[in-house]
Structure formats: C-alpha cells, structure tokens
Structure 1
Amino acid sequence: MISAPLEPPRRRTALVTGAASGIGAACAATLTEAGWLVAGLDRHSPSGDSTALRLTADVADPASVKEAVRLAESRLGPVDALVTAAGHYEATAVDDITPEQWTRMLRVHLGGLVNPVRALLPGMTERGGGSVVAITSELAIGGGDDGAHYAAAKGAVIGTVRSLAAETAARGIRVNAVAPGPTDTPLLAPDSPWRAPAYLETLPARRLARPREIAACVLFLLDEGTFCTGEVLSPNSGAVI
C-alpha cells in the first residue's frame, strides 16, 4: 500500500510593525531565524532579508493598516502573531508639549496597537487562536522627566494589553507586552541623557539593553510563554525592579 506523502506543516506567520529599524527590526530578524514567516510593516520600507514580505503603512491610520493586513494574509497566509514595535520618542518638557504632540503620540503608540489588533482579531477568532505582543516602555511604569506624553501613551498600551487579554482569552488569543528600558536603538540620539555614563552607572546592569535582547523576550512570549497572557515583561537593565 502506497500512502500519500504528508504535506509539510504550515509555517507560522507574524506581522511586525516598526520593522525598519531598532527593536522592530530585531524582532523581525529573530522571528525569521526561529522559523516564522515575517511580514514587516513600517512607514519606511523595511530593509534587509529578515522579512518574507515588506509592507509600507502608517500604524496610526486604520485603513492603511487594514489594507496591509489584507496583503500580508493574501501572500503569506493567516497571521498567527502580531508584534507592535512601531513608535517614536521625543524629549519635551510637559509645559512645552503641544496638543498636536499629545495626539500624535497617542495615535502612533496606542493606535499602533489597536489598529492592527482590530484588523487581525476577526481572523484569529475564527481560527481559535493567536498571540499579540506589544512593545511598551519602562517609562510607562516608572515615569521620567521630559516625556509625559510618551509615558502616557505607553501606559495606555499596558492598560489596553491587559484589557484585551481578559476579553480575548476565551477565544484562544494571548495578549502580552514587553516594557524595555533605554535600549541601544536610533530612537536614542548620541547625546541622549540615557546614554550618559552618569546615567548608565545607576543601572544594575551598567549598560543599555540591546535590541536583540528585547526581541528574545518577544520570542519567548510567542513560542514558550504559552501560559502567559496579560503579562508585562520588563527587560530594563534593572532600571525598574
């Protein structure tokens, strides 16, 4: 009796936002190396060979994100995991933050989580599973000078993650967050106070986190931390203990 050859298992697909640089690029590369098919999404076209598909979209625009998700699923198959790493940082005293800066920060960070989640949730619900990992910040936990709008937006991400985790657990969907401390990415200018030796000396680890270290936490939540939902991992060099 000759049996038909078994079809190889479908490779899992992840959508990573902010994939053009920094933590997002590290997540895309790490997931690809772990066997995932990765669709990288960014306002600037993701570069390099770490993504199976490169998408250009503004995470603050729901329609743009929905179309990017449609393209990703039509070319790579159903998206099993979402990693939201798109974001921006600016150091501004609270007295100087304009209404436009407050709005933009929330649209990018909070909208950058909610928009792709809303686009992917129907499919994940229909398939009975999925995973979301949002990149937030230790400033959402501990606060800091000259960045109240950034901390507020990242804090909103944590609240949304925990609410989504409770709301979608029965559908087989897990939602978690990673809250890095200062990380060695282009978001931190060369003259940033977070790079100053005096600040680094206050950290138990005495150095900035590396993007690949943050990506390792994301991979853990996707591949091994299947018991985790509503959690916030804090790889921050000991900045917040």
Structure 2
Amino acid sequence: MAERVALVVGAGGPLGQSVVEKLVAAGYRVAGADRRKDGLETLPSEVVRIPGDATDPEAARRIVETAVSELGTPSVLVNTIGTYGMGDALSATPEQLRLMMDVNLGPALWLAQAAVPHMQAAGGGSIAFVSSRWGAEAEAGVAAYSLSKAALNHLVVVLNHELRGSGIRVNAVAPQLIDTPLNRSFLPADVLAHATAPDAIADQLVHLVTDAGAPVSGAILPAYGF
C-alpha cells in the first residue's frame, strides 16, 4: 500500500493509543479519533486528533472526511470502540441490547461505509475491528454483549465477501479480556490474572492491517491469552 496513512478510532483508550503508537513507529501518518478529548491529548504530537463519537453515523462520516482532508486517504482503518455488559438473555432489556449494538457493531459499519469509497478510489486498503471470544463461543451471563460481538464477526465476513475484489481486506482480533483500568475497576483479581495487555492486542491489529498481514482477509483472530 503506497499511501501510509492510518485512521484509528477509539484512539483515546489504552488499546487505541497503543495501536496509534505502533502505527506511528511503523512509519504511518496517523489520525486518531475519540469522543473524549482528554484521551486524544495523550497521543503523540504528530498525530492528527479528531474529536467525534462514531456511534453516530454522521459523526463517523465526519471523522473519515477530516482524516482524508488532513492526511489523505487512509490505507488503514482500525476501530477499537467497544463496551461490555453482563446479564443473561432472559433478563436483557431493549436498552441493554441497543447499547451493545450501537457501540460494538454500529461504529464498525458506519466507519466502513464512510472509508471504503475512499479506499476503493485509491485502489485498496485494510480494515480491522476488535471482537471478542464471546462473539464466537456462547457463554452464559453476557447475552447482549455476545450477540453484538457475534454480529460484528458476521459483518467482517460480509465485508470480506463484498470488498475482496476491490483490494480491501477486513479482519478482526478477538480477545477474551483486555487488561485495562476500567476492567480492573470491577473485575476480581483471579479473572484479571488471565487478561491480555493492550499492547499485545495492538500488535495483532497492526500485524493484520499492515503488509505483514497481506495474505489474511475475513479472519477473526483469536487472542484469548492464557
């Protein structure tokens, strides 16, 4: 991919920030987007910072258009936005399901809709999302969350079929649990003992979207930790 431009959405969180730093180190010109301006302030100084909430389709479009205007067409799009919620299927509420779908599925679709036409015009690109083990393996107690991640997995496969002919690759990394300050605030130590560091997940995302991952498209990469 000739244009080494990347857009990372959710760049203000621990995982997104790690992806940004690794892409900068790999020689990419990077735009980072997040709804939290304080998170954007921690990014490297050379990164273009774009405030915006990609759960809103119009905001997602503005994020992409700003990145294109500031840096040129991104050859790489990484979306790290996500949320987590516990609760079984029989007690799930419309509000819980809507939140999980709006945050875990919506931005991936809206950002793809906005970015893909630019990538197609440029001759190709690579997209990566963050899924979850529970999107592929059923587990009690995380019904709405796992449904939203299963839908995200299906979106990866659908986009792979629709875009393969245009030179655009679409993949996802599926952690079981990421070791973040938020997760540490409510999960017990025995659970966190098996969590994966954000840097380790970021390494897999960067591998998939850069030339090293060129043979791979339509994959949900397990990154479950030990």
Aligned residues of 1:134 and 1:178 also touching (Cα < 8 A): yes
Pick from 175, 198, 201 the counterpart of residue 211 of structure 1: 198
Pick from 218, 221, 224 the counterpart of residue 233 of structure 1: 221
Tell me how far 1:122 sits from its aligned partner: 0.8
* Identical counterparts, % of pairs: 33
Structure 2 letter corresponding to 1:211: P
Cα deviations across residues 73-119 of structure 1 (Å, max 9, x unaligned)? Answer: 11111111110101111223334432112112101111110001000
- Count of residue pairs brought into register by the alignment: 222
Could you tell me which residue of structure 1 aligns to residue 68 of structure 2?
Answer: 73
- Alpha-carbon separation, structure 2, partners of 1:98 and 1:58: 24
TM-score by length of 1: 0.86
Q: Secondary structure at the match of 1:230?
A: coil
Could you tell me which residue of structure 2 aligns to residue 178 of structure 1?
Answer: 173
Q: Secondary structure at the match of 2:195?
A: coil
Does 2:23 match 1:37? no
Structure 1 letter corresponding to 2:164: A
Moved over 6 A (4+): none
- Alpha-carbon separation, structure 2, partners of 1:182 and 1:13: 29
Does 2:42 match 1:48? yes
Structure 2 letter corresponding to 1:134: F
Per mean C-alpha deviation after superposition, the further-off stretch among 88-97 and 141-150 is: 88-97
Root-mean-square deviation (CA), in Å?
A: 1.8
Tell me how far 1:186 sits from its aligned partner: 2.9
Structure 2 letter corresponding to 1:149: A
Larger helix share, 1 or 2: 2
Structure 1 residues without counterparts, runs of 5 or longer: 1-8, 201-205
- Alpha-carbon separation, structure 1, partners of 2:196 and 2:65: 34
Tell me how far 1:34 sits from its aligned partner: 1.3
Q: Secondary structure at the match of 1:79?
A: coil
Q: Which has the larger radius of gyration?
A: 1
- Alpha-carbon separation, structure 2, partners of 1:163 and 1:10: 26
TM-score by length of 2: 0.91
Q: Secondary structure at the match of 2:8?
A: strand
Q: Secondary structure at the match of 2:136?
A: helix
Tell me how far 1:40 sits from its aligned partner: 1.0
Cα deviations across residues 189-225 of structure 1 (Å, max 9, x unaligned)? Answer: 43314xx32x46xxxxx63211000011011112201
